[in-house]
Amino acid sequence: MKTTTLALTAAAVAALTIGAAGVANAQSRDQIRAVGSSTVFPFTTAVAEAFGKTGKFKTPVVESTGTGGGLKLFCGGVGPQHPDIANASRRIKKSEVDQCAANGVAEITELKIGFDGIVMASSKAAKHYDFTRAQVWKALAKEVPVNGKMVANPYKKWSDVDPSLPNYDIEVLGPPPTSGTRDAFNELMMEGGCHQVKEVAAILTDEKARSKACLSIREDGAYVEAGENDNLIVQKLGANPEAFGVFGYSFLDQNKDKLQAAKVDTVVPSYELISSGKYPVSRSLYVYVKNAHVGVIPGIRELIGEYTSERAMGEEGYLADKGLIALPKADRDAARVSAVNLSPLKL
Amino acid sequence: MTELADPDVRAVSPARSRYQSDEFVARLRRRYAAEQRFKYAGMAAIGLASLMLVVLLGSIISQGYTAFQQTSIALDITFDAAEIDPQGTRNPEVLAQANYAKLIRDSLGTVFPEATSRADRRTLSDLLSSGAPFELAMMVRDDPSLVGTTKRVWLTASDDVDQFMKGFIPRNVAETERRVNDVQVAAIDRLASKDSIEKSFNTTLFTAGDSREPELAGIWGAIVGSFMTLAITMALAVPIGVSAAIYLEEFAPKRWWTDLIEVNINNLAAVPSIVFGLLGLAVFLNFFGMPRSAPVVGGVVLALMTLPIIIIATRAALKAVPPSIREAALGIGASPLQTVLHHVLPLAMPGILTGTIIGMAHALGETAPLLMIGMVAFIVDIPGGFTDSATVLPVQIYMWADSPERAFTERTSAAIMILLGFLVLMNGLAVFLRKKFERRW
């Protein structure tokens, strides 16, 4: 039985050695690391893969942490243990830039890579309906103005909101509050819709109270938080034709045979109309690069060169196939210039 | 009941004994009925559980079995020397840099001469995977003598074509509602009439790392990552867990502090696994500065998670060894350590192995603790060492389930089948070892 003891000791020693090797290894890194938004994730991964296929550098590792979580990691400091690139489905906030600066991340390059549209869609089996943002807000807000007072949302059916809408129970499947898509939905759809409803401004004169009322989503089951997985929402819409789902344009693009998108403020969410900025519920997607890591971690310059190339982010690039909506030509050129010059962001 | 078993009781009839009074018969019937009801309830419970299992497996298999096939398209590729290697040096670097996409476009041009507009040629190129040019590059790299010849080559089709061939993209809907347009449908039909498009076994699924293109994505990277992570977990958790259990069970004096340790170990076994991930992030990444996404960190975190399971299983196995074995060993002069290592531990081994394997299977299916230490990531390269970035099987399933491309739906189910296969294998091994080495007293 001496062998057992020996084997146990050997295994323990081996494990400790491997652990120690890990510590030593963290001192340098030859693989780019990106973190951040789950909305930008499909695009950055596609670029990372194309970049890795050139064979000169290792394929970058991309983590989907959400915009806020990603920027927190990104701003953690300079050095191989901190990521090089952050994906964001909204612009970096002043507070986050300050956080970065406090940790020594002074220079950040901002690259705007494209647009994403947030669509409201239902199953093809259901009748087609279109909405205005005001109608969506009235259907989903926690409190709505009735007879000059803000009351808990009384609407049970879409037809209660507006007689032209379907006689369906209000049921909207959408992302949870942790999601960047929800942030954008709140800001563009809910806040935008709220401003269209004149009574709200008349009743709530206080700026803060009004903004809170605009962004509060009802919690009585009409809005169903369906998790971060948009595929799940698509499947649930198939099972429940009276429900509407809220998700990113790329999922609509992949499921055109199953889903129909509602027009929002009479604009249909198509590639062209989102790209031209006519569709009201669309947002810009960003990639942030840590300038201090350029030249230290190999390949960053080449990676963002690939990202901003016409082959990737152009109108017919491979990112368009993945559902990214291309920027106008001038903006693409601007992104290319920032990728070359690494011009630091100033807010 | 014993009275009933006695045949004499019945034999005394026709004189009705007190055991055959009406009240007795009614009571007996009630007891039998209660027993029957319990039996039926138990059968219903098992039936319901089996039904759930059948539904689960059925839905996974029916959704996933198609992923084991992949469509490919045969093209006559002219490996034009002027295009691939104009200088004729056969330098591998020159060969790797050549424009293989153009060879494919040219070949498609000869198959579909009517496609002259740039848009049509582009849609035809989309029939093939974006990885097809790399497949040609690999062929030329492996066999440079191909340059200058024409050869019929099977190339991977794009995911949309694959889904269309498998019937997941309907043909008879308006063109704008499907991802394969009319030009492509006509082209697919033409290729099919010439036997140039077919489904074959999907080897990529088993040999490639992750990819954003479903037709190029595989789970080999995740399998290697899982293997490395589990190797670390086992190397740490088994020796530490077994030693701790032996000490606690055989040597430690029964005091208040051993009770405290016992309560804590039982508690740890029930702690949500994400907590171990947070611990890993705080201690191993932030304090020790170990690399993110590395199997070594994942293995350590999962080892912490499995330790209590192994300790509890080992203690139970040691407890099951009868005290007479220990007394006999001590009685013939063995030291306590000899008693444990020579007699008790070997006899407890089947139970320890079972506990260890079940703990490992638990670790194999875990994603939550790995989220915090960066193993939930898009990683293409197959990990080559314990400190390379890696991901694991359940994470790969989660990431595919979250991808918009429809072809990932079937691949998700296929990956679940493969993970279930590994789990069945591990649990089967546990049962086998128990059966083989089990000792009864």
Nearest to A304 by CA among A50, A59, A111, A116: A111
Q: Where exactly are the structural domains of chain B? A: 2-64, 70-209, 220-437
User: In terms of DSSP bridges, do strands A244-248 and A108-123 run parallel, antiparallel, or are they unpaired?
Assistant: antiparallel
Residue-by-residue DSSP string for A281-321: SEEEEEEEEEGGGBTTBTTHHHHHHHHTSHHHHSTTSHHHH
On whether both A85 and A158 belong to a single domain, the answer is: no
- Specify if A2 maps to a domain: no
Together in a domain, A50 and A197: no
Q: Which residues pair with B157 in a beta bridge?
A: B128
A287 is a domain residue: yes
DSSP labels, A42-56: HHHHHHHHHHHHTSS
Distance from CA of A255 to the nearest CA of B (A): 8
Q: Tell me how far CA of residue A195 lies from CA of A206, A269, A282, B217, B250, in angstroms.
A: 14, 21, 17, 46, 73
Please list every residue in chain B whose beta carbon sits closer than 8 Å to the beta carbon of residue A229: 401-402
Q: Answer yes or no: do A206 and A75 share one domain.
A: no
| Nearest residue to B226 (alpha-carbon basis) of B397, B427, B31 | B397
For residues A175 and A201, membership in a common domain is answered with: yes
Chain A residues whose CB is inside 8 A of the B235 CB are 11-12, 14-15, 18
Write the DSSP assignment of B148-193 as a string of letters: T-EEEEEEEBPHHHHHHHTTSS-SSS-GGGSSS-HHHHHHHHHHHH
CA distance A114 to A327: 5
Do residues A268 and A130 share a domain? yes
Does A8 fall in a domain? no
Whether A131 and A241 map to the same domain: the answer is: yes
Based on the domain organization, do A214 and A92 belong to the same domain? no
Inter-residue contact B69 to B414 (CB < 8 Å): no
B212, B377, B381: residue with CB nearest A58: B381
- A145 with A170, same domain: the answer is yes
Cα Rg of chain B, angstroms: 32
Does any domain span residue A179? yes
Query: From the centroid of its chain, how far is CA B352?
Result: 23
- For chain A, how many structural domains are there in total? 2
Residue A91 lies in a domain: yes
Contact at 8 Å (CB) between A119 and A325? no
Pick the CATH number of B220-437 from 1.10.760.10, 1.10.3720.10, 3.90.1720.10, 1.10.357.10: 1.10.3720.10
Q: What is the mean pLDDT of residues B180-202?
A: 90
Segment B152-175 shows an average pLDDT of 90
Q: Single out the residue of A152, A157, A129 nearest to residue A141, CA to CA.
A: A152
> Which residue of A25, A55, A323 is in closest CB contact with B96?
A55
Residue where a domain terminates, one of A267, A282, A297: A282
Rounded to whole angstroms, the Cα distance separating B118 from B123 reads 9
d(CA B205, CA A260): 32
State mean pLDDT over B252-275.
90
- Could you say which DSSP state residue A267 is in? B
3-class state of residue A226 by DSSP: coil
Give residue B301's Cα distance to chain centre: 19
- The answer on A258 and A122 residing in a single domain is yes
Mutation for testing the A interface, residue in B403, B408, B412 having most A CBs under 10 Å: B403
Q: Domain span at residue A55?
A: 31-116+283-341
B306-348 residue pLDDT tens: 999 999 999 999 999 999 999 999 999 999 999 999 999 999 9
Last residue of a domain, one of A282, A303, A331: A282
The answer to which of A14-23, B12-21, B204-213, B338-347 has the lowest mean pLDDT is A14-23
- pLDDT single digits (tens) A269-304: 888 888 888 898 888 899 999 999 998 999 999 999
Residues B145, B177: contact at Cβ < 8 Å? no
**Helix (H/G/I), strand (E/B), else coil: B41:** helix
Q: ipTM score of the complex?
A: 0.79
Please report the residues numbered 4 through 33 in chain B whose beta carbons come closer than 8 angstroms to any beta carbon of chain A.
Answer: none
Cβ atoms A236, A226 nearer than 8 A: yes
Each residue's pLDDT, cut to its tens digit, for chain A (347 residues) gives 445 555 555 555 555 555 554 444 445 788 999 999 888 998 999 999 989 888 788 999 999 888 888 999 999 989 888 999 999 988 898 999 999 999 999 899 999 999 988 899 998 888 888 889 999 998 998 888 888 888 888 898 888 888 888 888 889 998 887 677 788 888 889 988 888 888 888 888 788 888 888 888 888 888 988 876 778 888 888 888 888 999 888 888 888 888 889 999 889 888 888 888 889 888 889 999 999 999 899 999 999 999 999 888 888 888 888 888 888 888 899 999 999 988 888 87
Whether residues A317 and A220 fall in one domain: no
